[in-house]
Amino acid sequence: MTLKNVLRILGAYAWSFGETLIDKPTLNKSMLSTNIKFYNTLKWINILSSFLLFVPVFGSLGNFHLPHMLGYLIMAFLGYSTWIFQGVTGVPIYEETRFLILMHLTLHSFFGLWREFYNKFALFDDFLHIFGGFWGAFFLFPFIFGSAIAWSNLPQRAVRWKVWLSGISIVNMIGVFWEIGEFISDKIFGGYPGYRMAQENSLDDTMLDLIYNNIGATIGILVFWWYLKRSKDINTFVKDMGKKLGEFFREESTILGP
């Protein structure tokens, strides 16, 4: 990656974050309500949560722990991923989606690692995997659905199955990569003082985590379908999202060439 590409990504993030602050209506959207007070409240909760992810980074400097510090830094970066994605592609991100992502990252980083909820509460890890599957499906659903209705002429039943299977498949793929990351982390830092093994029970832990991911993803898709049937303008918005993705990839193809 060249310096020009890095500067482009950073510039897109800054622009996207700025657009959020000034409430540009073409980019910022609440999914559950058209009430401006609800949107503003959610927006500022998300902005404050994004800064909250840096509390463990600075708070743990006095008691430095390499594996945890790496985790804190990764979670802090991922907290801004939706603004980066929005800035690069121009695809709008629901504030509710941003809220779920930031909540999951905060629960893992701030509460799970820094406040040691993983050690204090036996079911905390199980809950996070269910919640992770839920927000993963909830986050992916608009993009998959928007792309399906914008780029294909499939009948309604086929679109439903395409979205369902695609959402479950991507959540499982992310879950597998997460488990691989836990496995590698355990192998590298297994003997590090104070390190909590992510896969203490090996196969049982891995399989239960993947099962919980699927349970959460199924709940997320069902909730989205339920809301989709009752929404007044979400169909148009999701279709516009698909068009935005199409415009982005066509532009990238033009830049990169054949």
In tens, the pLDDT along 13-33 reads 566 555 555 554 444 567 666
* 159-205 tens-digit pLDDT: 778 778 888 888 999 999 999 999 999 999 988 888 888 887 778 88
d(CA 121, CA 119): 6
Q: Output the pLDDT for position 27.
A: 42
In angstroms, the first-to-last Cα distance of the chain is 19
In angstroms, how far is CA 86 from the centroid of its own chain? 12
User: pTM for this structure?
Assistant: 0.76
Q: Output the pLDDT for position 249.
A: 67
Phi, psi for 39 (deg, rounded to 5):
-65, -45
Q: Output the pLDDT for position 20.
A: 56
Residues in the chain with pLDDT < 50?
24-27
Q: Output the pLDDT for position 83.
A: 83
Phi, psi for 29 (deg, rounded to 5):
-150, 135
